[in-house]
């Protein structure tokens, strides 16, 4: 067996090389979409309203379970910067802010916030999956709800 026949045996099929190259180009282009499409941007607009929490515990629980989607102080994890997962994160954050944003809203529907927590609607299961510390115990939920009542009532 000579060297040229060995090299040809190890060669990848041309279609496979082109296919992998095409996938790589598409993946790189996907990373650029968030710079062009506003719905996919990872942003933190200015905070126009500061909340004075009734207790440090309530504020900490808020930050732990709610603030990433319901304030302009989102902490984006590393995977947020990789498409297409980042697109989902940006969508969820923008939708959360649209429903409630304590960084800009003047009138906070505190009773609706408490109802969502009591019924288990918030935080969303996919958020808890990626942020286990957002899975609050019953005692933590009670502390958070008491803090929301005292802060926003």
Q: Which of these, 54, 95, 45, 116, lies nearest to 74 by C-alpha position?
A: 45
pLDDT at position 4 is 53
Give per-residue pLDDT as tens, 40-85: 999 999 999 999 999 999 999 999 999 999 999 999 999 999 999 9
How many angstroms from the chain centroid is the CA of residue 85?
9
Q: How far apart are CA 39 and CA 37, in angstroms?
A: 6
Domain map of the chain by residue range?
Answer: 38-152
**73: how many CB neighbours lie within 10 A of its CB?**
12
Query: pLDDT band at residue 11, thresholds of 50, 70 and 90?
Result: confident
Are the CB atoms for 90 and 80 separated by under 8 Å? yes
Q: What is the pTM of this model?
A: 0.81
3-state helix, strand and coil shares in percent for the chain, rounded to the nearest 5: 65, 0, 35
pLDDT tens digits, 92-114: 999 999 999 999 987 889 999 99
> 57 Cβ partners below 8 Å, 6+ apart?
143, 147
Q: Locate 47 and state its tokens.
A: 């905070």
Assess contact for 84 and 28: CB atoms under 8 A: no
Residue 6: which pLDDT band, with cuts at 50, 70 and 90? Answer: very low
């Amino acid at each position: 067996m000579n060297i040229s026949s060995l090299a040809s045996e190890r060669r990848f099929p041309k279609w496979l090389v082109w296919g992998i190259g095409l996938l790589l180009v598409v993946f790189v282009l996907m990373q650029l979409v968030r710079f062009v499409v506003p719905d996919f941007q990872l942003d933190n607009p200015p905070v126009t309203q500061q909340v004075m929490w009734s207790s440090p515990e309530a504020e900490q629980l808020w930050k732990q379970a709610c603030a990433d989607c319901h304030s302009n102080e989102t902490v984006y994890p590393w995977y947020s910067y990789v498409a297409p997962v980042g697109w989902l994160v940006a969508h969820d954050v923008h939708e959360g802010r649209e429903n409630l944003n304590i960084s800009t809203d003047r009138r906070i529907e505190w009773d609706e916030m408490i109802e969502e927590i009591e019924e288990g609607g918030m935080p969303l299961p996919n958020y808890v999956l990626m942020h286990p510390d957002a899975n609050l115990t019953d005692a933590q939920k009670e502390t958070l709800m008491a803090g929301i009542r005292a802060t926003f009532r």
